[in-house]
Amino acid sequence: MAHDLRLRQLLVSTLAAWHGVSRKQIAIRIGTSEANLSQYLNHREIDDELFERLLAAIGATPTEVRIATAYLEALAALEENDDLIAEEQSEIEEAALESARLTRRILAEELRRARHGPALDLCLELCDASGDAASREVEAAAGLARLARQVAEEELEPGGFRTRLTGRTAAYGANVLRVAGELPEAETAFVEAKRLWDAGSDPSGLLDPGRMLDLEASLRRSQRRFDEALACLDEALETGRSPARALINKGFTLEVMGEYGRAVEALLQAGPALDPQADPRLWYNQRLNLSVCYTHLQRFEDAAQLADETEPVVAALGDALVLLRITWLRGRIAAGQGRTAEARELLAEARRQFAARGMSYDVALALLEEAVLLLHDGRTAEVKELARELQPVFAAKGVHREALAALRLFEEAAENEAVTAGLARRVLDFLFRARYDQGLRFTDS
């Protein structure tokens, strides 16, 4: 084909133009006349030996030759696909160019990551593990965050990147303090983490800035600074690399604020970007949070469908605590659908397992759900007995003052057999909100 015969001539001319080398300069460097060189570049076949000499005279690298060859082959493909209309040819070539750009970007990022070796990968894995463990095992999460910082400080060369990475690891340490309810200490730790992050640098773009914003948003939520939390998450949506993670956090923040409709909107937006194979925990967090919001909105069929989809994935991962929360969620769904006996059985099982794990706040939530069902059936005496199981909750450290005050009111009313389903429901709704908003005040009205 003509294209094959002329490929070397075109390559030499293209690369010479790229390097700014004239035909006269090339001719001098290979020891021939400019006229003779022109004959080769316009009419005569260039053999392997001459081709190598020409490329050396130009100063072209093998990589440049491959890139220029691909460029010329793409142009030739436009004529070869003569059975396609112009719009179809354009669509094919645009897709091919975008694929090449994406591949180049991925390979470049992998090579940059390789400069920092396994230490960077280990550090990021430890950070992720700390974040996953924080809601289940605070001490383990703290240890993982400390280890991540140790790896960053001891295994990477001093410089701006190590400083920035250290800031990220410090933010996970602050997150552990937040989950433990030590908010002043968490604030101090996060200020230090942010200082390190800002003082450092990441010229290769290896670290996702959205993760720092996500962690800051969680802290602001716990501090009841909801507008700031949502602002952080909106920024993470614009600048971060995991919009789904930011949307899930936004949905949870709105749930804590009691804005269940807006929470559902944010969580639904996150759904299409999630993959149970790539990140199963992020996937099931979105669905379980959405299911809980649906129960608040009385959309129990939608909540049940999500629980059915999620449970097998959680079971395969062996996440026993999440499976327990699904048991509680199924009890709540059954109650909403009028299956009272099944609901009471599921809620009682969840309550017992929560108690065995020392999860006092969850014990209170499940117990109040049971109480509402009993009171609707007029079984006040049974509620009186049930309320006595709150005694360990009052002695626990994980329940704050306002929540305890609401539970005391419920307990006293139950003891006097004066409790109503309305009061139990108000205390239950308050506990949902107050768990993550400890500045709320309970009023029996």
What letter does residue 378 receive in the DSSP assignment? T
Tell me which residue has tokens 């091919």.
96
Q: Residue 352 carries which side chain, given as an amino acid letter?
A: R
pLDDT (0 to 100) of residue 400: 79
Say if CB 144 and CB 175 are below 8 A apart: no
Could you give the 3-state DSSP secondary structure of residue 108?
Answer: helix
pLDDT (0 to 100) of residue 91: 61
Give the whole-angstrom CA distance, residue 86 versus residue 363: 67
| Torsion angles phi and psi, residue 205, rounded to 5 | 65, 40
pLDDT (0 to 100) of residue 114: 45
Burial (CB count within 10 angstroms: exposed 0-12, middle 13-18, buried 19+), residue 328 = buried
Give the whole-angstrom CA distance, residue 69 versus residue 85: 25
What letter does residue 388 receive in the DSSP assignment? G
CATH number for region 358-445: 1.20.120
Q: Tens digit of pLDDT for each residue in 343-398?
A: 999 999 999 999 998 888 899 999 999 999 999 999 999 999 999 988 888 877 66
Give the whole-angstrom CA distance, residue 195 versus residue 206: 19
Q: What is the widest separation between alpha-carbon atoms in the chain?
A: 112
pLDDT (0 to 100) of residue 110: 45
CA 51 vs. chain centroid, Å, equals 51
Cβ–Cβ contacts within 10 Å for residue 381, how many? Answer: 11
Say if CB 17 and CB 40 are below 8 A apart: no
Q: Residue 235 carries which side chain, given as an amino acid letter?
A: E
**Per-domain residue ranges of the chain:** 2-80, 277-356, 358-445
What letter does residue 297 receive in the DSSP assignment? T
Q: Which segments in the chain show pLDDT lower than 50?
A: 1-3, 99, 102-104, 106-115
pLDDT (0 to 100) of residue 94: 60
Give the whole-angstrom CA distance, residue 23 versus residue 38: 8
pLDDT (0 to 100) of residue 160: 92
CA 250 vs. chain centroid, Å, equals 12
> For 2-80, which CATH class?
mainly alpha
Could you give the 3-state DSSP secondary structure of residue 105?
Answer: helix
pLDDT (0 to 100) of residue 426: 92
pLDDT (0 to 100) of residue 147: 93
Closest by CA to 7, choosing from 49, 61, 66, is 66
Give the whole-angstrom CA distance, residue 291 versus residue 294: 5
pLDDT (0 to 100) of residue 391: 86
Render 33-87 in DSSP notation, one character per residue. Answer: -HHHHHHHHHTSPP-HHHHHHHHHHHT--HHHHHHHHHHHHHHHHHHH-TTS-HH
| Torsion angles phi and psi, residue 304, rounded to 5 | -65, -40
- Global pTM? 0.71
Render 336-360 in DSSP notation, one character per residue. Answer: HTT-HHHHHHHHHHHHHHHHHTT-H
Q: What angle do CA 257, 358, 398 make, to 5 degrees?
A: 40
Give the whole-angstrom CA distance, residue 26 versus residue 24: 5
